[in-house]
Chains A and B, each alone.
Chain A
Amino acid sequence: MTQRSSQHSVPRKRCPFCEKEVKYIDYKDYPALKSHVDYFGNMRKRYHTGVCLRHQKKLRQAIERARFMGMLSYRK
């Protein structure tokens, strides 16, 4: 079992924000936010993007602020 699991182990995704040592995610930074929102305007889950929990929470706040200001859509 151990051999099998080691053979099929998928490399864990790294948080793109942690790599750049991001401390604050700005809601005005449209290009940065856009990649974390899908076609329908929903937030991409961190399971798919690899974002850590700390940054996911900050990202959520930024996206919600951007939605309120009309920069991002709530729903397409």
Chain B
Amino acid sequence: MPLSVTKASAEDQEDVLPENGRLYECTVLYPLSLSQKEEQDLRKNIEMFFTEVGGQQVAFDVWGRRGLAYAIGGAHEGNFVVYHYHLDPAHVREVDRQIRILPGVLRHLLIKLPEGYSIVRYSQLFEIWQEEQKTSVVRERITKEEHLKKRVIERASKRTVSEKPDRSKGGLTAQALTKGIEKIISDEDIHL
């Protein structure tokens, strides 16, 4: 379980971040239907909002194509981009309002991060997790198939064992009957 969390290394962050302001995280979701130009413009606009206010970009993570749990604005898939900015708290509302108005954005979330938060790239972690899931699913399938094969073989062997004596019994009785009848018919002493 890759937890986001962290007994955080405050020393590392102090090196990265300037003294004023706080660390904020902005996640933006936009639809796949946007062209590359529109996508670039959108990202530039969002970065502009932060830079205008004096925000400093700390990290930037593009998740790429992701399925959505429910349709948002008619879109079942979208692109996620996660920005980490060091920003003055006084300007957060303004930036939030500007992103909300921006056309092409399905959802956005601008949140304050706790002190000592270490930035994690979930795009990579998610891919690793997906691969693990796939391998586990494949393993389960293989084990299920093997189990089924075993069961089929067992059933087939049981049938052959159970059917053999029945056939032999049936064959013997029929033969015996025919022989007996023939004997009776061929017997000269008996007058039918």
B137 shortest CB reach to chain A, Å? 14
Interface string of B6-18 (1 = CB under 8 A from A): 1110000000000
Contacting pair A25 B29 (CB below 8 A): no
Contacting pair B114 A29 (CB below 8 A): no
B31 shortest CB reach to chain A, Å? 11
Residue A28 at the B interface, CB < 8 A?
A: yes
The A-B contact count (CB < 8 A) is 79
Residue B116 at the A interface, CB < 8 A?
A: yes
Contacting pair B69 A70 (CB below 8 A): yes
Residue B152 at the A interface, CB < 8 A?
A: no
Choose one: B2, B70, B120; the contact of A74 (CB below 8 Å): B70
Q: Kindly list chain A residues whose C-beta atoms are within 8 Å of the C-beta of B4.
A: 24-26, 28-29, 32
Report the contact-size class of chain B (Cβ under 8 Å from the partner).
Answer: 20 to 34
Contacting pair A25 B3 (CB below 8 A): yes
Report the contact-size class of chain A (Cβ under 8 Å from the partner).
Answer: 20 to 34
Choose one: A26, A30, A68; the contact of B120 (CB below 8 Å): A26
Residue B192 at the A interface, CB < 8 A?
A: no
Bound Cα distance from A29 to B1, whole angstroms: 9
Residue A60 at the B interface, CB < 8 A?
A: no
A9 shortest CB reach to chain B, Å? 28
Interface string of A44-59 (1 = CB under 8 A from B): 0000000000000000
Q: Given contacts A31-B129, A69-B29, is CB(A25)–CB(B5) below 8 Å?
A: yes
B79 shortest CB reach to chain A, Å? 12
Contacting pair A70 B2 (CB below 8 A): no
Q: Given contacts A23-B116, A26-B120, A28-B122, is CB(A70)–CB(B3) below 8 Å?
A: no
Contacting pair A65 B69 (CB below 8 A): no
Contacting pair B126 A30 (CB below 8 A): yes
Q: Kindly list chain B residues whose C-beta atoms are within 8 Å of the C-beta of A67.
A: 69
Choose one: A32, A65, A71, A73; the contact of B3 (CB below 8 Å): A32
A35 shortest CB reach to chain B, Å? 7
Q: A residues within 8 Å of B by Cβ?
A: 16-17, 20-26, 28-32, 35, 41, 65, 67-74
**Could you list 23 examples of A-B contacts with CB < 8 Å?**
A16-B1, A21-B7, A24-B4, A24-B113, A25-B5, A26-B122, A28-B27, A28-B82, A29-B3, A29-B120, A31-B2, A31-B125, A31-B126, A31-B129, A41-B69, A69-B29, A69-B80, A69-B107, A70-B72, A70-B78, A71-B66, A71-B68, A74-B70
For the complex of A and B, 3 pairs with smallest distance between CB atoms: A26-B4, A73-B69, A70-B68
